[in-house]
Amino acid sequence: MPNKKNRMLACIAFVAAVALTMQGRADPVTLDAAVQSLADNPKVKAALETIKADDAATFAEQKRITEIASPPYKEKVRAEYYLKRMQELGLTDASIDAEGNVIALRKGTGGGHPKLAIAAHLDTVFPEGTDVTVKEKDGTFVAPGLGDDARGLVALLSVIKAMNANGISTVGDIMFVGDVGEEELGNLRGMKALFRDHTDIDGFISIDGLGIDRVVNRATGSHRYEFVFKGPGGHSFQEFGLPSAIHAMGRAIAKIADLQTPSDPKTTFTVGTVRGGTSVNAIASEARMAVDMRSNSTEELLKLEAKLLGLVKQAVVEENARWNSDKLVLDIKLIGDRPAGMVAVDSPVVLAAQKSVAAVAPGRNVTLAGASTDSNQPMSLGIPAVTIGGGGEGGNWHSVHEWYRPVDGYLGPQRALLAVLLLQGLDGVTKPTLAARQGTK
């Protein structure tokens, strides 16, 4: 069972983290001037052209990476390939950490700060044995994980290649990361390890998803539980009168289904999986269900969690009472904990993500959104962070029918490059707009 004191401390820490995040305000006029200086710079122009000219090769790399299976907790083979590619692109300060993240540092001229981490996740949701062969029909390509997040991984490589090919030096350091554990029960283990082991990171960008029209600046928090109902079991006729694990679970599901949650901040729940019982003519001795709860607000998430836990416990009490028994028991296990957070709309990292779109694709509308991504972890720590798309079009996420079309795919890495340069500064041309956090200088 989660400790209430720890939950309260987590809530207090979240409030403090948001306050810290919102301290870093950006001057739009300064940012606009920096955007113009970068857009006019010959090296930057050449780097953007390099990305566009390399679009077909980047997509070919995307397909290669997709076909390296990377199930949850089994990302090693893809990680080793990704490390090799980073090293081939000249990042000699590169390695795989103890958690399995690929980390490569490209040093700037400013003595280490500000330090920006930019990441894409190595893992997919698909189990071992899934066919990951990329298939094409009428210009649409289909394969599990082709967009999520093979596209993000190659966008990073495209940025590195363009910077190196055109002699671009930044003021701040850039940490390129291929991380593990973003999907499902990976529980952000890669990000948690990254920010535990590297406390000097000043800002963060995740490339996850497609297109260039969305900036995630709100982290949707989630708590996931497995509930296991255990009873004596017995023959459905001979032992009739004993409490049933499945009946108790059914009572719990009915109660959960009637929960009311706010639409703003958006707060949701679902009983995602259920299983149990041994035979149609047996009183179930065990049943289990997995529940997902999400919210854009830590406060609302904790409220929902408290209500839901109470209802499940009540269901067990009622099933025991129905048969005048005390033999049915409940085990509760927290199996997922993604923190919520937010970054102010006038934070440099948010504005850089928006203004970089205007620079590479004038007239495009950019929306701010909430989602559950790798950015949850830094946001919850008060570190300015956003999640942006890697370019192209696609759909059917988390399905073996996931599809991708390389339509204007180059805009993703172009936008990422400009956002990085805005935040980290182009040596001799612009200053960093990302500030070094207190205590990291």
What is this structure's pTM? 0.87
Phi, psi of 174 (to 5 degrees): -125, 125
Paired strand residues for 282: 235
Q: Are 139 and 73 in contact (CB under 8 A)?
A: no
Kindly tell me if the per-residue pLDDT of 357 is higher than 70.
yes
Cα(437)–Cα(23) distance, integer angstroms:
10
Q: CA nearest 266: which of 292, 297, 291?
A: 297
Phi, psi of 205 (to 5 degrees): -130, 130
Mean pLDDT of the chain: 93
Cβ neighbour number for residue 362 with a 10 Å cutoff: 7
Q: Tell me what pLDDT residue 216 has.
A: 97
* CATH class of the structural domain 4-219+340-424: alpha beta
Q: Tell me what pLDDT residue 184 has.
A: 83
Q: Tell me what pLDDT residue 381 has.
A: 94
The alpha carbon of 351 is separated from its chain's Cα centroid by a whole number of angstroms, namely 20
Q: Are 4-219+340-424 and 221-338 in the same CATH fold?
A: no
Kindly tell me if the per-residue pLDDT of 8 is higher than 50.
no
Look up residue 123 and give its two tokens. 């893992």
Cα(202)–Cα(348) distance, integer angstroms:
11
Residue-wise pLDDT for 169-208, tens only, equals: 999 999 999 999 999 889 999 999 999 999 999 999 999 9
Could you state, in order of their start, the residue ranges of all structural domains in the chain? 4-219+340-424, 221-338
Residue-wise pLDDT for 280-325, tens only, equals: 999 999 999 999 999 988 899 999 999 999 999 999 999 999 999 9
Q: Tell me what pLDDT residue 60 has.
A: 98
Percent of the chain with pLDDT strictly greater than 90: 90
Kindly tell me if the per-residue pLDDT of 41 is higher than 90.
yes
Kindly tell me if the per-residue pLDDT of 54 is higher than 50.
yes
pLDDT range class, residue 18, cuts 50, 70, 90 = very low
Rg of the chain over Cα atoms, rounded to whole angstroms, equals 24
Cα(352)–Cα(433) distance, integer angstroms:
9
Domain range 221-338, its CATH number among 3.90.79.10, 3.40.50.300, 1.10.10.10, 3.30.70.360: 3.30.70.360
pLDDT range class, residue 1, cuts 50, 70, 90 = very low
Q: CA nearest 134: which of 205, 178, 69?
A: 69
Kindly tell me if the per-residue pLDDT of 2 is higher than 80.
no
Q: Are 412 and 159 in contact (CB under 8 A)?
A: no
Q: Tell me what pLDDT residue 312 has.
A: 98
Q: Tell me what pLDDT residue 440 has.
A: 65
Kindly tell me if the per-residue pLDDT of 15 is higher than 70.
no
Q: CA nearest 421: which of 24, 120, 149, 47?
A: 47
To the nearest 10°, report the CA torsion of 66, 189, 338, 353.
-60
pLDDT range class, residue 438, cuts 50, 70, 90 = confident
